[in-house]
Amino acid sequence: MRRRVVLDALWREPSRLLRLVCWSVAEALPSLTGGYAVARAVDDGFAAGRPGVGMAWLGVLAAAWAVAAVSARQVLLLIAGIVEPFRDDLLRRVVTGALRAGRGGDSAAVARMNHQVELARDSFGAIITVVRSFVFTLVSVAVGLSTLAPAVVPLVLPPVALGLGLFLVSLPSLARRQREFIVADECTAAAVAAMASGLRDVTACGAEERVAAEVGQAVTRQAASARALARVTATRTLSLAVGAWLPVVLLLAGAPWLVRQGITGGVILGTLTYVMQSLAPALGGLVQGLGVSGVRLAVTLERILHVPGPPALHGDTEPDTEPDTEPDTEPDGARLVLRGVRFAYGAAGRKAPEPVIDGLDLDVPEGDHLAVVGPSGIGKSTLAALVAGLLTPDEGEVLVGGVPAARVRPAARALIPQEAYVFPGTLAENLTYLAPGATPERVDEAVAAFGLTDLARRCAGGPLDPAELSAGERQLVALARTYLSPARLVVLDESTCHLDPVAEARAEAAFAARGGTLVVVAHRISSALRAKRVLVMDGTRVRLGSHEEMVAASPLYADLVGHWTGHWAGRSEELCSEGLSAGAVAEDADVSPGRRPEPAALGGDLNRLDA
Ligand SMILES: Nc1ncnc2c1ncn2[C@@H]1O[C@H](COP(=O)(O)OP(=O)(O)OP(=O)(O)O)[C@@H](O)[C@H]1O
C-alpha cells in the first residue's frame, strides 16, 4: 500500500519525470567536469606555465556551476510538482477516511493527520532530492574518472561501493531504531500535552504522582530509544568513513605508485576533487536523507494509511505504545461493583510487591452512602483512586454503572482529594468549572449549602487568590464545585479534613441529599455515623455493614469509635463555647450503644491510629 502510493506519485506524470532526469543531468555537470577541469587546469595550465589555459579550464568549471544553478531551480520546481500532488492525495485519503469513520466533527484528529501529511510530504521531497542527487553524482563521477584516468578508478569506486553497501545493510536496523525513536518522541509529546491540558484536573484529583510516573515512563522510554538509535548511527558514520574518506586515504597513500604509472599530479588533484567535492557530499546526503527522511516517510505513511506495523517499541516484550483510543463511556447509573480486586504498587519486572488491596468484593447500590474507615496507610486512598478510575486493578474489576472505572466518562464521577484545588478566578468560575450551565440560583444554593456565604460576600464577585484562602475554605469551594457537577458517583477522600465538624456534617448532608452514590473516606468517625454503611479496612481484610454491625463485628472499628468518642466527649463543651450549633455538636457527640469511651488523648482524627 505504502509503496503503491509512492510509486503512483512518481509515475503520475512520466513527462515530468523525464524532464526531471534531463535537468538532473544538467545539475550534475560540476560533478562530471569538476575533477577533469582541475586536472587539466593544473597539468596543461598552471604547472605548464600557461596560466591562461589554467584559468580557461577553471572558467569551464564556473560555467558548469552556472548551468547547475539554473538547473537546481528547475529541479526544485519539478520535485514540487511531484510532491504536492502526493500531499493532496494523502490529505484526500485522510479526510475521506475521517468522514467515512463518522468522525467528521473530530477536527483535532484531522488536524493531527494533516500534520502527519505535511511530514510525509517533506520527507518524500527530501528522499527524491538525495537519491536523485547521489545517483547522478555517482554516474557523473564514474564517467569523469574513466575519462580522466581509468587507473584511479579502482582506488575510488570500490570503497564507495563498500561504504554504500555497509549503509544499505545497516538501513533496516537504522530504520527500526529511527522509527522507535519517532514513536517514543510522539508518546512523550502526547503524554506531556495530555498532562499540560489536564493539569487543573490532575491537581484537583490529586493524581500528580500517577501522572508524573506516566510521563516519566514515556521520557525514560524515549531516552532508551535515543541511545539505541545513537548506537546504530555509529554504523552510518562507519559507512561514510569507508565510502567518502577511504578513497582519499588510498589516493594519498598510493600517490607514489600512481606517479610511477605515469599519473600526473594534476590528475591526482582532479581525482581528489571528484571525491571530496562531489562523491563525499552526495554519499553524506544519501546516508543522512535516507536514514531520517526515509524512515519518517515510512512511519507517517503507515499512520496515514493505517498499515499495521511491527511492535512499536523495543521488540515484542514492550507494551503497545499506540495511544489508547477507546472512548470514554457513559455509565448506566452509579452503582459501584468491585469483584476480586487486587492492587499492588510497584513496577512490573521487580520483585512482586505486597498487595494493598487483595480479593476485594464490594457492591454499592446507586444512592448508597458508604463510609470507608481504617488506620493510616491501610489503603483507603488507593481504594478511592481505584473507584475513581485513577488506578487500574491488577486483578478483578471495578465497575461504575456497569462500565470499568477507568473508562467511565470523566464527568460522570468525581474524586475530591485532601488537597483541594482552587484556581485564580471568581468564586462563581470556580464553582461552575464542572457545570458551566449551572444557573445563578443553583450556584447560590451551593454557596448556602456549603457555608460559603461569607466568602462570597468577602470577594464580592472579584477574583479569588487561592493563597489567601484557608485550607478549609479551599475544601469548601472544591466540595461545592463537585456538588454542582453532573457526577453521579462522588468520592470524598478525606476531603473534609480541614473543616470543623459542623461544616463537615453540613457538606456530607448536602451530598447525601443530592442523590447519586457517595463514598466517603472518613476523616472522623462522625462521617461513619452519617453513612448508611461502613466499610472497615483492616489489613487486606475488609468488613461491611451498618455502624452498629461494625461496632459488634470489628474490634478495630469498635476501637476507633472508642477513641473518637472519648475525644469528642471532651471537645463538645469547647465547641459550644466557640459558638457552633449545639445540634450539630450533639450529633457529632452522639454515642451509640456499644461504643467504648476512651480518654481524649488521641483526638478525633482517625488517622492517628496506626495499623
Ligand atoms: N504511589 C505509591 N507508590 C507506592 N506505594 C504507595 C503509593 N501510594 C500509596 N502507597 C502505599 O500504599 C499503602 C496504602 O496507601 P493509602 O494512601 O491508600 O493509605 P490510606 O489508608 O489512604 O492512608 P492515609 O489514611 O494515611 O491517607 C501505604 O502503605 C502506602 O505507603
Computed on alpha carbons and rounded to an integer, the radius of gyration of the chain in Å comes to 37
Q: What pLDDT does residue 274 have?
A: 94
Whether residue 220 has its Cβ less than 6 Å from ligand 1: no
SS3 400: strand
Residue 346 alpha carbon, nearest atom of ligand 1: 4
Ligand 1 pocket mutation, candidates 342, 354, 380, criterion most atoms within 8 A of CB = 380
Rounded distance between C-alpha atoms, residue 400 and residue 231, angstroms: 48
**ipTM above 0.85?**
yes
Q: Which residues contact 564 (CB under 8 A, 6 or more apart)?
A: 524, 525, 526, 604, 606
Does ligand 1 come within 6 angstroms of the Cβ of 523? no
Whether 607 lines ligand 1, by a CB cut-off of 6 Å, is yes
Distances, alpha carbon 478 to alpha carbons 139, 217, 418, 455, 519, in Å: 73, 30, 10, 13, 16
> Which ranges in 149-264 belong to alpha helices (H)?
153-197, 199-205, 208-240, 246-253, 255-260
| Per-domain residue ranges of the chain | 2-305, 337-345+352-608
Show the cell assigned to 249: 586515504
CB of residue 418 inside a 6 A radius of ligand 1: no
Q: Using CA atoms, how far apart are residues 249 and 272, in angstroms rounded to an integer?
A: 10
Q: What is the DSSP string of 415-484?
A: EE-SS----SSBHHHHHTTT-TT--HHHHHHHHHHTT-HHHHHHHTTSB--GGGS-HHHHHHHHHHHHHH
Q: What is the pLDDT of residue 600?
A: 29
Mean pLDDT of successive 10-residue stretches along the chain, which has 611 residues: 76 87 94 94 94 95 95 92 87 72 53 77 90 94 93 93 90 81 82 80 73 88 90 85 93 92 93 93 88 78 59 33 58 92 70 80 94 90 91 92 90 88 88 90 94 90 86 93 94 91 92 92 87 87 90 87 58 39 33 31 38 31
Q: Is the CB of 468 under 6 A from ligand 1?
A: no
Q: Which residues contact 68 (CB under 8 A, 6 or more apart)?
A: 26, 27, 28, 29, 30
Pick the CATH number of 337-345+352-608 from 3.40.630.30, 2.70.98.70, 3.40.50.300, 3.30.420.60: 3.40.50.300
CA-nearest of 58, 72, 59 to 28 is 72
Backbone angles phi, psi at 547, to 5 degrees: -55, -50
Ligand 1 pocket check for 382: Cβ under 6 Å: yes
For residue 555, the model assigns a pLDDT of 87
Measured in Å, residue 355 CA sits from the centre of ligand 1 at 11
Ligand 1 center–CA 28 separation, angstroms: 69
The pLDDT value recorded for residue 37 is 95
- Cβ burial of 475 (10 Å; 0-12, 13-18, 19+) is buried
Ligand 1 touching residue 599 (CB < 6 A): no
d(CA 380, ligand 1 centre) in Å: 8
Which strand ranges, in their side-by-side order, compose the sheet holding 369-373?
413-416, 489-493, 517-521, 369-373, 533-538, 541-545
Q: Using an 8 Å Cβ cutoff, are 174 and 397 in contact?
A: no
Are the C-beta atoms of residues 39 and 48 closer than 8 Å to each other?
Answer: no
Two domains, one topology: 2-305 and 337-345+352-608: no
**Rounded distance between C-alpha atoms, residue 16 and residue 24, angstroms:** 12
Please give the distance, rounded to the nearest whole angstrom, from the Cα atom of residue 352 to the centre of ligand 1: 17
* Binding site membership of 495 for ligand 1 (Cβ less than 6 Å): no
- Can you tell me which residue has the cell 457513559? 330
Q: Is 33 in the pocket of ligand 1 (CB under 6 A)?
A: no
DSSP 324-368: --PPPB--SS--EEEEEEEE--S-TTSSPPPPSEEEEEEEE-TT-
Which residue has a Cα nearest atom 14 of ligand 1? 379
Query: In this structure, which amino acid lies at residue 376?
Result: S
**Going by CA atoms, what residue is nearest to atom 3 of ligand 1?**
345
How far does CA 11 lie from the centroid of its chain?
38
Kind and range of the H or E element at 491?
A: strand 489-493
Tell me the pTM: 0.51
CB atoms near residue 393 (< 10 Å): 21
- Decide: 376 in ligand 1 pocket, CB within 6 A: yes
d(CA 309, CA 332): 37
Residue 278's nearest CA partner among 143, 170, 76, 152 is 143
CATH of 2-305, one of 3.90.1310.10, 2.70.98.40, 1.20.1560.10, 1.20.1730.10: 1.20.1560.10
Question: Does ligand 1 have an atom closer than 6 angstroms to the CB of 345?
Answer: yes
| CA 65 to ligand 1 center in whole angstroms | 72
Q: Tell me the CA–centroid distance for residue 414 and ligand 1, in Å.
A: 20
Of ligand 1's atoms, which has the minimum distance to the CA of residue 374? Answer: 21
Ligand 1 atom, smallest distance to 606 CA: 25
Angle 148-149-154 (CA atoms, 0-180°, nearest 5)? Answer: 125
Residue 383 Cα: closest atom of ligand 1 = 18
pLDDT at residue number 348: 46
- The pLDDT score that the predictor gives to residue 99 is 63
364: number of Cβ within 10 Å: 23
What distance in angstroms lies between residue 376's CA and the mean position of ligand 1's atoms?
A: 8
Ligand 1 pocket member 381 (CB < 6 A) = yes
- In this structure, the residue with its CA closest to atom 9 of ligand 1 is 382
With the most atoms of ligand 1 within 8 angstroms of its CB, the residue from 214, 358, 382 to mutate is 382
Kindly give the number of the ligand 1 atom that is closest to the alpha carbon of 537.
21
